Amino acid sequence: MTVELVAHHTGYALLPFFPSSLLSSFCPARRLLTWDVYADSSLGPSKWPANETSFSVTIPPDLGDACKEPGQCAIQWFWYATENSQTYESCIDFTTA
């Protein structure tokens, strides 16, 4: 996955996945990645860790049939910028074989 970060707002970010039916509700999700400090404005883009903008994830193997059909499961990239209280997010659905 690749993220284009143009805003320099320090915050935190998560990359959870869960059933798409729960995407709009607050629900427990499995976190694939977590960044306690994300887009640190004191560093600037050239010094941000590479894994903040380009990363790979491994879908857990214990999903069974839960994600076999399109639209059943999604990965959400979520970034909360604490400097200006803004939320940025994007989602993509996925299937497993």
Query: What are 35-75's pLDDT values in tens digits?
Result: 999 999 999 888 999 999 898 988 888 877 888 888 888 88
Query: What are 3-26's pLDDT values in tens digits?
Result: 888 778 899 888 887 776 555 554
What is the rounded distance in angstroms from the CA atom of residue 64 to the CA atom of residue 80?
32
More confident residue, 27 or 96: 96
Kindly give, in sequence order, each residue whose CB lies less than 8 Å from that of residue 52, ignoring residues fewer than 6 positions away: 3, 5, 13, 35, 38, 39
What is the rounded distance in angstroms from the CA atom of residue 43 to the CA atom of residue 55?
20
pTM metric for this prediction: 0.76
CB 20 within 8 A of CB 71: yes
